[in-house]
């Protein structure tokens, strides 16, 4: 009739709707045995829901008097992801949303059962997020207006301030809003220039959402366009490397973040995207397993750079160190 998770939820619904329900009635409604009903009740208790039971013939279950079920139910992983997401919001340059994030976090804490709330609070306290020094503060209301314009496909009008502080009036069909390298950008068609352009939100003034409607292009990759139009940004390289060891030997040594790890020909195929090739080359050397670089060719060049640096370090060891020659006297 139901899968196990649906049966557990049905038990909860019946307990909320009635003062008490016998085990026999629950078994009949769910088409399971009384022993299975006991397992479902135990599952609810493990989730922090105070289900009380009366043993013996005609035994029944009820919710603890005065208990009010929160409007939302989360697993431990879901609650943790929400809590950490709210905390990370401050690192996106949206300082105005900090009070709202704190209020939402407090509501989440009140919603969770006691045991789960204590676990989430403990994990939150154990995590520190280091804000990037390059994050630019952005007007949260401006961002909300832009997102609304994107959703309704409405043209916006704004004053845009250039690097030289010159201001021009722009009309833009905004296709996407992107957060990249610590800044928020609007990407779309600029009526003044007659082509695609990207605009930093921290340089926008006096945004107005117009009644004009446009048709955005299908499957437009705003992030790819933004990267291509900003050559100073680091290039992301597609890396494919084969390591002479099974995937289980790499557990704890290779991060799964943006990384594909799978067995191949008795070893491991590792695919990922990275910007710092020299750092990734150093990482591969540190793994301590034989490997083969299949792409990109630039990764091999990175190993050559590391080789030169190692040679410089070795050469420096052979030069006698004179403390007096490196000292700095007052007034120098």
What is residue 332's predicted lDDT score, i.e. its pLDDT? 37
Q: Using 50, 70 and 90 to split pLDDT, how confident is the model at 234?
A: low
Determine the pLDDT at residue 72.
60
Q: Which residues contact 140 (CB under 8 A, 6 or more apart)?
A: 94, 95, 96, 97
What per-residue confidence (pLDDT) applies to 9?
78
The pLDDT of residue 323 is 52
Which pLDDT score, from 0 to 100, does residue 304 have? 92
Q: What's the pLDDT tens digit per position in 301-314? A: 999 999 998 988 88
> Among 44-48, 136-140, 175-179, 307-311, whose mean pLDDT is lowest?
136-140
- For 284-304, how does the pLDDT look when each residue is reduced to its tens digit (9 = 90+)? 999 889 999 999 999 999 999
All residues at 6 or more sequence positions from 204 whose CB lies less than 8 Å from its CB, including other chains: 142, 158, 159, 160, 161, 186
Asked if 156 and 149 count as a contact pair (C-beta separation under 8 A), the reply is yes
pTM: 0.49
Which pLDDT band holds residue 232 (cuts at 50, 70, 90)?
low
Q: Estimate to the nearest angstrom the gap between the alpha carbon of 247 and the chain centroid.
A: 25
Question: Which residues, 6 or more positions from 103, have their beta carbon under 8 angstroms from its beta carbon?
Answer: none
Taking the C-alpha atoms of 317, 318, 319 and 320 in order, what is their torsion angle to the nearest 10 degrees? 90
Confidence grade of residue 45 (pLDDT, cut at 50, 70, 90) = confident
Pairing of strands 237-243, 204-213: unpaired
Structure tokens at 135: 């994050």
pLDDT in tens, 56-97: 556 788 888 877 665 566 777 777 777 878 777 766 777 777
Q: What average pLDDT does range 163-172 have in this prediction? A: 88
**E strands present in the chain:** 21-22, 51-53, 60-63, 154-161, 167-180, 183-190, 195-200, 204-213, 237-243, 259-264, 267-274, 291-295
Closest CA to 277 of 314, 245, 234, 309: 234
Give the containing element (helix H, strand E) for 290. Answer: none
So what's the pLDDT on residue 50? 87
Average pLDDT over residues 161-174: 89
Give me 142's structure tokens.
């401006």
Specify the pLDDT at position 228.
Answer: 82
DSSP 259-285: EEEEEETTEEEEEEEES-HHHHHHHHH
Q: Which long-range contacts (CB under 8 A, 24 or more apart) does 56-59 make?
A: 58/22, 58/24, 59/22, 59/23
Counting Cβ atoms within 10 Å, is residue 204 exposed (0-12), middle (13-18) or buried (19+)? Answer: buried
Give the pLDDT band of residue 190 (cuts 50, 70, 90): very high
Pseudo-torsion of CA 124, 125, 127, 133, nearest 10°?
A: 100
Mean pLDDT computed over every residue of the chain: 81
Question: Is residue 7's pLDDT more than 80?
Answer: no
Q: Please report, for residues 166, 200, 222, 264, the alpha-carbon distance to residue 185 in angstroms, rounded to integers and kept in the order given.
A: 19, 5, 10, 41
Q: Rounded CA gap, 146 and 208, in Å?
A: 9
Residue 169's DSSP bridge partners are 159
Q: Identify which has the larger pLDDT, 17 or 156.
A: 156
| Residue 110 confidence class, pLDDT cut points 50, 70, 90 | confident
pLDDT higher at 129 or 23: 23
Residue 328 has pLDDT above 50, yes or no: no
What's residue 211's pLDDT? 94
């Amino acid at each position: 009739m139901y899968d196990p998770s649906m049966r557990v939820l049905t038990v909860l619904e019946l307990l909320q709707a009635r003062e008490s329900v016998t085990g026999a009635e629950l078994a009949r409604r769910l088409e399971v045995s009384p022993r299975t009903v006991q397992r479902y009740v135990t599952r609810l208790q493990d989730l922090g829901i105070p289900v009380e039971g009366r043993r013996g013939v005609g035994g029944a279950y009820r919710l603890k008097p005065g208990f009010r079920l929160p409007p939302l139910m989360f697993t431990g992983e879901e609650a943790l992801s929400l809590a950490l997401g709210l905390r990370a919001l401050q690192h996106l340059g949206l300082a105005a949303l900090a009070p709202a994030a704190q209020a939402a976090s407090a509501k989440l804490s009140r919603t969770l059962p006691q045991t789960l709330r204590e676990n989430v609070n403990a994990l939150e306290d154990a995590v520190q997020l280091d804000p990037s020094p390059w994050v630019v503060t952005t007007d949260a209301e401006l961002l909300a207006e832009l997102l609304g314009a994107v959703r309704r496909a409405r043209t916006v009008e704004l004053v845009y301030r250039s690097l030289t502080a010159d201001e021009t009036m722009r009309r833009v069909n905004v296709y996407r809003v992107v957060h990249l390298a610590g800044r928020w950008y609007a990407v779309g068609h600029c009526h003044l220039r007659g082509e695609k352009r990207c605009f930093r939100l921290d340089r926008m003034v006096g945004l107005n959402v117009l009644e004009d409607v446009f048709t955005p292009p299908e499957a437009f990759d705003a992030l790819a366009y933004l990267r291509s139009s900003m050559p100073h940004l680091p290039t992301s390289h597609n890396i494919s490397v084969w390591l002479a060891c099974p995937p289980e030997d790499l557990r704890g040594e290779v991060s799964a973040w943006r990384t594909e790890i799978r067995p191949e020909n008795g070893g491991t195929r590792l695919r990922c995207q990275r910007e710092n090739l020299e750092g990734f080359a150093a990482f591969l050397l540190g793994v301590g397993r034989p490997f083969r670089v299949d792409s990109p060719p630039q990764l091999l060049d990175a190993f050559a750079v590391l080789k030169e640096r190692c040679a410089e370090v070795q050469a420096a060891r052979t030069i006698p160190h004179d403390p007096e020659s490196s000292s700095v006297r007052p007034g120098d």
